[in-house]
Amino acid sequence: MSQGIHRKIRSDAVWAEVRKAWEDGETARSVARRYDVGVHALWKRREAEGWTRPEPKAGPVEPAEGWGAYVQTRRDAFEARLADARALAECLVEAMKDERLMRAPHWHIPWLYRWRADHLGPEAAARDRERAVEMGYVWAEAFWDEDGALRPLHRLDAEMARLHPQEWRRAVGVPEGVEVGLLLSLREKVGDPRACPEGRSDEGLHQP
């Protein structure tokens, strides 16, 4: 007597797992072996039920110079920026120790004053003002209000730019002919809505 063909019967739950595994990217042979369903049966199910896989995502396009040179160039640029940032940080740390700010990078002086006032307290801010007057710095009267309080940082930045318009143009890249006063007033307006409290006006400080 001949034996009949043995058919593997699997539950719908098993086939649901088979489908998910295949649609997630596992090969048909691997899935069939893992769930003991047979590759031919898997293909028949796939056709009958319309199993699909998402379209493979295109990888990044290799640059003309090759990935090795590309990565090296990007790494060199990153390390250069990192070195610049560390050099600036070291410079600022040293500048914080000197109340006269003699070695402070020009455009970071406002931030240094603001940092000292925020972290070292009003006594340090008062000493900074005294030192600025003593050293004859042009910003001595512009950085502090009539009560001796240091102005907000965006105001200090704007004052520094107003006091050194040509240097500011070169640093920012603003060509001659563009109205600096207009740019500074816009900077103040968007910088902090609390810059001029109600009942007070400091517009005169921002005239070119």
pLDDT of residue 181: 59
pLDDT of residue 147: 85
- Over residues 128-149, the mean pLDDT reads 89
* Of residues 183, 187, 106, the one with CA closest to residue 154: 187
Binned at pLDDT 50, 70 and 90, residue 79 comes out as very high
d(CA 61, CA 170): 38
Q: What is the pLDDT of residues 3-42, one digit of tens each?
A: 545 566 788 899 999 999 998 888 888 998 999 888 888 9
pTM: 0.52
